[in-house]
Structure 1
Amino acid sequence: MDINNLCNFFFVGIVTDVNPAEGTVIVTRPDKNDRTTAALKVIQRGTCKTKDYWMPAVNDQVLCLVLPNVSGKGPGEGYVLGAFYSDADKALESNEAVRSVHHESGSYWRVDENGNMEIHASGSMKLTAPMIYIN
């Protein structure tokens, strides 16, 4: 496949609009004079029985894939494959064995390879279960 053709399918863009209910975003393409895409579906880790939900924020830099249209005319379905760290948006962790989610509000959760977990809520916290054990 020709590299120029490949660049039409994979590209880096900037999120300009988010539709959380549909799981889609609109992306601006700096490589195409800031042309905007149609709604792109955001890839999730699970969508059937076990569901995972994540949406990139406006101004996130994302890697996108637009499939060729089976009719041969214009682009087909498009997807956001994920966001990535850069000079503008640095990683918050320096240990590859840590998983964390940090929200703009200041709330976060963090777990490491030793089983240590930290949860910080900048607002209220609700726990719901038939029985809650605190040791």
Structure 2
Amino acid sequence: MARVRWTDMDGEVSYWLPVMQKKTLKDKEYWLPDLNEHVVCLIDENGEEGVILGAIYSDADATPVQNKDKYYIHFEDGTEVEYDRKQHKLRITVKGDILIEADGNMTLKASRIDLNP
């Protein structure tokens, strides 16, 4: 849940609104907008019930990638996840440690694996 400040209504603040997520039942995802993030809402005519549909880019906060073939996530600490579906390339840059846990076996399969080159 989050609240929205309506800049077109003299800074009035909304009631608590649910934030739309991609998955909520068997598979789950959770991510709230940051404070002052530009969001789009679907609100009833009284401004009492609604939902935050998600964040959008603007002139002040431009789209970080201009390529329709790329899926991109950038975190505040500089960590990045990028997948280019045209080049079939996944790039992950982490500003910290990585932990991978498996209840079963782990297999790395590639034509070549370089460790700490």
Normalising to structure 2: TM-score of the pair?
A: 0.84
Aligned-pair Cα RMSD in Å: 1.4
Bigger helix fraction:
1
Name 2:33's counterpart in structure 1.
Answer: 56
Amino acid at match of 2:69: A
Q: What's 2:90 paired with?
A: 117
Greater share of strand: 1
* TM superposition shift of 1:65: 1.2
SS in 1 for 2:44: strand
| Counterpart AA for 1:97 | D
Distance 2:91 2:69 in 1: 14
Contact residue 98 and residue 111 of structure 1 kept, 8 A: yes
SS in 2 for 1:87: coil
Shift of 1:112: 1.3
Which of structures 1 and 2 has the larger relative contact order (alpha carbons within 8 angstroms, sep 6+)?
1
1:100 maps to which of 40, 63, 72: 72
Code of the aligned partner of 2:93: H
Distance 2:50 2:10 in 1: 19
Q: How many residues of Structure 1 are paired with residues of Structure 2 in the alignment?
A: 107
Verify: 1:132 aligned to 2:106, yes or no: yes
Give, in angstroms, the shift of residue 54 of structure 1: 1.8
Matched residue, 2:115? none
Question: Does residue 23 of structure 2 align to residue 79 of structure 1?
Answer: no
Aligned counterpart for 2:44 among listed residues 55, 62, 67: 67
Question: Paired residue for 1:19?
Answer: none
Give the 4+ runs in structure 1 shifted more than 6 A: none
> How many Å apart are 1:29 and its aligned residue?
0.2
Counterparts of 2:69 and 2:25 in 1: how far apart (Å)? 27
Hey, what's the Cα distance between the residues in 2 that align with 1:104 and 1:117?
Answer: 20
Report the counterpart of residue 33 of structure 1 in structure 2: 10
SS of the aligned residue for 1:126 comes to coil
Unaligned runs of 5+ in 1: 1-23, 69-73
Distance 1:29 1:111 in 2: 35
Superposed, 1:15-34 pairs within 5 Å as: 24-34=1-11
